[in-house]
Amino acid sequence: MACCWLLLVLIIAGVGVGCRAERHAPERPNIILIMADDLGYETLGVNGGTSYRTPHLDALASSGMRFTQAYATPLCTPTRVQLMTGQYNFRNYIGFGLLDPEERTFAHHLQAAGYRTAVVGKWQLFGNARQRALAGGRAGSLPQQAGFDEYALWQVEARGSRYKDPYLEIVDQPAGVYSGRYGPDVFAEYIERFLERHQHVPFFLYYPMVLPHDPFQPTPDDTGYADFDPASGLNDTEYFASHVSYLDEVVGRIVRQLERLELRERTLLIFTADNGTDRDVVSRLGDRVIRGNKGYTTEAGTHVPLVASWPATIAPGQVNDNLIDFTDFLPTLLDAAQVGRREGVVTDGLSFYPQLLGAADTVRAWVFCHYAPNWGNFTDRRFVHNGAWKLYADGSFYSLAEDPEEQRRLSEEELTDEARRMRQYLQGVLDRMR
């Protein structure tokens, strides 16, 4: 049955013809996947954002390929499950804060292929008592259950602070508060040591960052950090820019460590984010003013940055306008790792690995989202879009080119022949996603 729906998805996803010769596939690389927490497309300078300083991310994009049409789900856990398993949420999402321990993740597959695997940063996939109760008593996954050999994480079985004086769980160490430390610094140091320890073997590092998620609080670069009490409850968007700058510097630290260890040329480094920016944050993208819309299904809730850098393999300075959704990461990473045998690999995704090498023989014709977060007051929604037109399962139809904020649902009377054809085409995709 799984093979049937996989074949169907691949058929209706669409195929394009490449216009450039594919570069010679190199030896399998080390892989680092970094995912920021609540960072919309509009926040990066290289994407046209003018509100924040992101020099390291801008340089990373310039060294490789920058994607302009990457889409996550609107919320953290649904995106994380989709990213790690390569499947749409209606197939395997069991509840907020939970990853079904029966699922096989990209870490399982890369581990089986001989990669040393690690996850660092935010977990949020084991679930607390309330989340497990809402899922009918089902528990989520611990990091080693999900295929990771090593980990340094916030929010595994307990929560606490993620920033100043963080509560962390690190493999082979007792869980607890790291007094006097800043969480992102602890994670960066762990990553630097991981890279040094495993520089002579292939490794996969997944880094779901805690930044720049709220609470927005002083970073070590801010005046007043030393006297700041993390238990104060402070959450001030004034510090969002500091969070973005600190995130950017952490990415720079990772790049510098790769260079120091002479691993940069042999490492595929991917940066993205799990959903749009927090709704309390207003940013500028060129002439546009964009309010973050995390949790909601508009472009401002789902459109995220995506950068891939792999010197000497990915040509520098490329801009890729093809559609990407988060089911595509798993097959892409497996292709990069040259995992040729795919028994047991079930995915809705289309690998964008050939595009990294300069080919575009298989490109995505649409992005689909099944959004049932089981968290907060968010409404369950299903939609499909092709970058220009967007159709919801309830029949709502929008022109994204003219109305990216989805302020005006198109009526039947005003549809052009082209719009009617596109609506029919997108409805066919929705009909097959059952």
- Residue 4 confidence (pLDDT) above 70: no
Domains (ranges, CATH) in the chain? 21-362 (3.40.720.10), 389-432 (no CATH)
- pLDDT attached to residue 334: 96
24 — pLDDT class (breaks 50, 70, 90): low
Does residue 293 sit in helix, strand or coil? coil
Task: State the chain's mean pLDDT as an integer.
Answer: 93
- pLDDT attached to residue 345: 86
- pLDDT attached to residue 101: 97
**What is the side-by-side strand order in the sheet with 318-325?**
176-177, 167-170, 150-154, 116-122, 203-208, 30-36, 267-273, 303-309, 65-71, 318-325
- pLDDT attached to residue 25: 58
Distance between CA atoms of 370 and 430, rounded to whole angstroms?
10
Q: Of all residues in the chain, what percent carry a pLDDT higher than 70? A: 94
Average pLDDT over residues 57-64: 98
Residue with tokens 């085409």: 425
Average pLDDT over residues 415-422: 97
DSSP designation for 216: -
DSSP designation for 42: G
- pLDDT attached to residue 368: 98
Q: What is the pLDDT of residues 264-285, one digit of tens each?
A: 999 999 999 999 999 999 999 9
Helix orientation angle between 76-85 and 329-336, rounded to the nearest 10 degrees: 40
- Residue 13 confidence (pLDDT) above 80: no
Q: What is the pLDDT of residues 284-329, one digit of tens each?
A: 999 999 999 999 999 999 999 999 999 989 999 999 999 999 999 9
- pLDDT attached to residue 18: 37
Q: Which of 160, 152, 280 is nearest to 205 (CA)?
A: 152
- Residue 378 confidence (pLDDT) above 60: yes
pTM of the shown model: 0.94
* Beta-strand pair 65-71/267-273: unpaired
342 — pLDDT class (breaks 50, 70, 90): confident
Q: Of all residues in the chain, what percent carry a pLDDT higher than 90? A: 89
- Residue 374 confidence (pLDDT) above 60: yes
Q: Which of 25-29, 213-217, 411-415 has the lowest mean pLDDT?
A: 25-29
Q: Which of 18-27, 100-109, 314-323, 413-422 has the lowest mean pLDDT?
A: 18-27
Q: What is the pLDDT of residues 139-183, one digit of tens each?
A: 999 999 999 999 999 999 999 999 999 999 999 999 999 999 999
- Residue 9 confidence (pLDDT) above 60: no
- Residue 128 confidence (pLDDT) above 80: yes
Distance between CA atoms of 227 and 237, rounded to whole angstroms?
19
